[in-house]
Amino acid sequence: MKRNALVFVVLVAAILGMLAAGKYLDRTRKHGPLKMVGNVKGVQAPDFDLATLDGRRVKLSDFRGKAVLLNFWATWCPPCKIEMPWFEDMQKQYGKDGLVVLGVAMDDTEAPKIAEFAHEMGVNYQVLLGTDQVSDDYGNVQYLPTTFYVDRNGIIVDKAAGLFSREEIENDIKKILVSSYNPGTAQTSRASVVHSPAPATHAAKAAQ
């Protein structure tokens, strides 16, 4: 009798699993891949210290208090090109509300070529030169585009692996914009332990 009950429970679990898988596959067919939220949602975004196209250094922690759209892309990636004009529009539309779009170029090429590409695409947001370290810190980012939505406290609210629709991107932006900045809750991430904690910059101070 007990065995029958166990079998029943396992079967119910299996059916629920299949339903979930079916929903996933259906959504994937209609809209592209699902977001991989399970392993990163609610996690402190690793800090980084990356070069900009004009040779400055930028840390993620510089933007504490801002909502950050962190987009990993590459010049050889056609789907990334689709998103770039949307990000430009979002930066224009929501920049005043505290949105910062950061593009992390994962090209294995020289900065001037990336700069030329970004210029041709009309990019109006900051482009950073990606490294293996930042890729590893964010879960070995190999699938481009991949976008992390980071709230004002540096917490990853969502992750989008692959190309998503403009509407979905805008919805995710709205999710990070509604977050309120709580300086006391901001934690030190693994990466920012390795690189010494960044002093508060003008960006962070302006947001306070």
Give the DSSP letter of residue 63: G
Q: How far is CA 106 from CA 13, 57, 74, 142, in A?
A: 41, 16, 5, 9
Provide the pairing of β-strand 156-161 with 146-150: antiparallel
Residue 112 lies near another protein (rule: CB under 8 A): no
Residue 36 lies near another protein (rule: CB under 8 A): yes
* Nearest approach, Cβ of residue 113 and another protein (Å): 9
Which member of 67, 69, 77, 204 binds another protein (CB under 8 A)?
77
| Binding segment toward another protein, per CB under 8 A, in 49-57, 73-81, 91-99, 166-174 | 73-81
| Binding segment toward another protein, per CB under 8 A, in 27-35, 59-67, 189-197, 200-208 | 27-35
For residue 103, the SS3 value is strand
Give the DSSP letter of residue 125: S
Residue 4 lies near another protein (rule: CB under 8 A): yes
Q: Cα separation of 61 and 208, whole Å?
A: 13
Structure tokens, 8: 């029943």
* Nearest approach, Cβ of residue 132 and another protein (Å): 11
> 74 near 65, Cβ under 8 Å?
no
Residue 193 lies near another protein (rule: CB under 8 A): no
Give the DSSP letter of residue 197: P
Residue 136 lies near another protein (rule: CB under 8 A): no
Angle at which helices 78-94 and 166-177 cross, to 10° = 40
* Nearest approach, Cβ of residue 4 and another protein (Å): 7
For residue 127, the SS3 value is strand
Which member of 42, 78, 112, 199 binds another protein (CB under 8 A)?
78
Residue 161 lies near another protein (rule: CB under 8 A): yes
Residue 194 lies near another protein (rule: CB under 8 A): no
Binding site for another protein (CB under 8 A): 3-4, 6-7, 10-11, 13-15, 17-18, 20-22, 24-25, 28, 32-34, 36, 74-80, 82, 106, 108, 117, 142-146, 161-163
